[in-house]
Every structure is written in structure tokens, then in C-alpha cells.
């Protein structure tokens, strides 16, 4: 027998699907199973809150990875290992995920190094 939801519960569930970026009930059930959640449609608000937190963490991780790739490219480097070597060589931490201000310091260092290289080239 299918679960009957009240109109208010239907609206809340639709909002929940929207928040998760999930287009359908079937996709929602699959998403839940893939991420270790109960695939039931009717849940306590606390369970839905946990799903939303998990989705945000995944989204944040993707954004962090995109920001890291953009930063590495801005430094003219091709890979994370090349980035870590560059950081250590120039006195920075080799960790990958840094604050925006740490990344600004690294870009300033790159500009400084380029300026020094240009000046050294013009002295010859």
C-alpha cells in the first residue's frame, strides 16, 4: 500500500527535493541509498536535515576542488603535485586546501618572482 502524504507534507517534500537538487522521487530514493540514508519518502524533519547537511558538504567539497584547480592554473602549474612542490620551494605549506588569504599570498609571491626574473633579464 503506497504511503499517503498530506498536502502540506507533499509541499515540504517537494521543497526538500529542490534543496537537494534531485528531480524525482526515484532519483531521491537512489540518492538516499547511495549516501547511506533510508530511501523512504515519509521521514522526520531531522532525517531530512541530515540529508541536506550531507548534500551541502558534498557541494562545498566540489566548490573547494574547483577553487583549487583554478588557483593551480592561475599559478601556471599543471597538477596538485606540481603545486605542492612549488609551495614548499617558495616557503608555503604543501597542503592543498588553504584559506583565500593564503592563496593571495601565493599569487603575490608568484608576481614577485616574475618581477625579479624580468629585472634580472633586463640587467643582462
CA–CA gap between residue 39 and residue 27 (Å, rounded) = 10
With 90 as the cut, is the pLDDT of residue 124 above it? no
**For residue 3, what pLDDT band results from cuts at 50, 70 and 90?**
low
Other CB atoms within 10 Å distance of the CB of residue 17: 17
Any idea where the domains of the chain sit in the sequence? 1-61, 75-124
89 — phi, psi (to 5°)? Answer: -60, -30
Q: Cβ distance 75 to 83 under 8 Å?
A: yes
Angle at 75 between CA 71 and CA 80, to 5 degrees: 65
With 90 as the cut, is the pLDDT of residue 4 above it? no
Give per-residue pLDDT as tens, 23-76: 999 999 998 988 889 999 889 999 999 999 988 888 777 788 888 999 999 999
Q: Cβ distance 22 to 14 under 8 Å?
A: no
The 3-state secondary structure of 72-113 reads: HHHCCCCCHHHHHHHHHHCCCCCCCCCCHHHHHHHHHHHHHH
Q: Give the pLDDT score at 55.
A: 86
Give per-residue pLDDT as tens, 84-119: 999 999 999 988 888 888 999 999 999 999 999 998
Q: Cβ distance 20 to 52 under 8 Å?
A: yes
Rounded mean pLDDT, 12-17: 90
Q: Give the pLDDT score at 50.
A: 92
Amino acid at each position: 500500500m503506497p504511503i499517503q502524504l498530506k498536502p502540506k507534507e507533499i509541499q515540504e517534500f517537494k521543497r526538500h527535493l529542490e534543496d537537494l537538487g534531485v528531480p524525482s522521487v526515484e532519483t531521491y530514493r537512489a540518492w538516499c541509498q547511495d549516501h547511506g540514508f533510508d530511501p523512504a519518502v515519509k521521514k522526520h524533519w531531522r532525517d531530512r536535515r541530515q540529508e541536506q547537511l550531507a548534500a551541502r558538504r558534498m557541494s562545498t567539497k566540489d566548490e573547494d576542488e574547483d577553487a583549487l584547480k583554478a588557483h593551480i592554473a592561475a599559478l601556471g602549474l599543471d597538477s596538485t603535485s606540481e603545486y605542492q612542490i612549488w609551495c614548499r620551494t617558495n616557503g608555503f605549506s604543501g597542503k592543498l586546501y588553504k584559506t583565500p588569504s593564503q592563496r593571495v599570498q601565493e599569487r603575490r609571491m608568484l608576481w614577485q618572482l616574475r618581477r625579479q626574473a624580468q629585472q634580472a633579464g633586463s640587467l643582462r
